[in-house]
Amino acid sequence: IYSMISLCNNLKKDCKFKNKINKILEEIYLYYENSYNEKYNHYIFNKDSNSKDFLPYNMQNVFALALIENLKFNDNKKYLKKTEQLFDSFYINFYNNKSYWDYWPIYSKHHSKFKGRGEDIRHASWNVFFVMEFCQKASISYQNKYKFIKKKNK
């Protein structure tokens, strides 16, 4: 879905599928909300699966990228709030406030097996891209909460 929304944004007004893409994203959003853990602001593998564990960051953050990309042509506050929650979830797992994190969140049952190994560049690129995109779309309250987010010029 991220690729479809991004393509539509690049086409600007020539995108004939904007409404259909919005509808698909909303269906996906509602479907995955059943697999969202509010305590940790993190998605878990679909409740129908055997895993019942938290998603690795790259999987969660690709979905967050779709929400951010959608915000570029649809000012849906629900999506902005969700991206802020997902950013919080990711940020708390940085080591000593540095740009280093593990593949699995600290509350995952897989984390202890892989702790301290970081993440390969392919998976990490989605997370870095999410942080970059989030910082550009972040609300004023998040600019104040996280000082590294560049203030928007008016």
pTM of the model: 0.82
Structure tokens at 17: 């599928």
What DSSP state is assigned to residue 14?
A: G
What's the confidence (pLDDT) of residue 141? Answer: 64
Give the chain's residues under pLDDT 50. 154
What's the confidence (pLDDT) of residue 27? Answer: 93
Q: Model confidence over 97-115: pLDDT tens digits?
A: 666 788 888 888 888 888 8
Residue with tokens 């940790």: 40
* Closest to 86 (Cα-Cα) out of 32, 14, 6: 32
What's the confidence (pLDDT) of residue 154? Answer: 47
CA–CA–CA angle 94, 90, 134 (5° rounding): 110
